[in-house]
Structure 1
Amino acid sequence: MAKENVFQLQLEPARLEEFTAAAKAVHRPASQVMRDLMCDFIRQQQTRKHDEFVQLKIAVARASLEAGRGRSNDNVEAEFAAHRVKGQGPE
């Protein structure tokens, strides 16, 4: 990926020295460590959004079951077994 932008970060000199030393200790440039941290942060946000989406889907499904609109796995399996016997997909 082409690096076309500059990101400036202000921090205390001691913090910069600590960070630079830690990056050097693992034989990586500090700029690459920062890029990796940014990518990890973005992934965490995407994961959080996906988790919220899944939790909403679960809540909707549970509400549906509690309202009596659910079907047991045995009923679904029996219906699809009957479709397979007839040689057709579900309607």
Structure 2
Amino acid sequence: MTDATFTFRVDESLKADFTAAARGLDRTGAQLLRDFMRDFVRQQQEKQAYDAWFRREVQAGLDDVSAGRLLSADEVEARFAARRAEVQRRGQKTP
């Protein structure tokens, strides 16, 4: 990995406060900024991955609707009532 320089302007008092806070953690400002940058990149990657997953799920749902693969609210309720009954039945068994 090659290093690159990142230069930007910041208010002098913010720089002094940041440097003091970093020193209090026994870190340099540069170390903290690299950590912040890595965290930001990771968060953005996770956000993009979630967004892509969500869009795929929505499209799958739309495709199901278009293909007529639907359940009425009554059918869904009946299925989950059966599941609840099964779980309750299993919970009442003695080993």
Q: TM-score range by the shorter chain?
A: 0.5 to 0.7
The aligned counterpart of 1:78 is none
Residue identity (%): 26
| Distance change (3 Å), C-alpha of 1:27 and 1:69 | farther
**Matched residue pairs, number?**
71
| Distance change (3 Å), C-alpha of 1:22 and 1:6 | same
Structure 1 segment 10-89 matched on structure 2, within 5 A: 10-68=9-67, 70=69
* Alignment RMSD (CA, Å): 2.1
Pick the structure with more helix per residue. 2
TM-score by length of 1: 0.67
TM-score by length of 2: 0.64
- Structure 1 counterpart of 2:49, one-letter code: H
Q: Deviations over 1:35-89 (max 9, x none)?
A: 0011111111111110110111110111122234549xxxxxxxxxxxxxxxxxx
| Distance change (3 Å), C-alpha of 1:19 and 1:3 | farther
Which blocks of at least 5 consecutive residues in structure 1 are unaligned?
72-91
Which blocks of at least 5 consecutive residues in structure 2 are unaligned?
71-95
Q: Distance in 2 between matches of 1:3 and 1:35?
A: 14
Q: Distance in 2 between matches of 1:69 and 1:53?
A: 24
Q: Distance in 2 between matches of 1:32 and 1:3?
A: 16
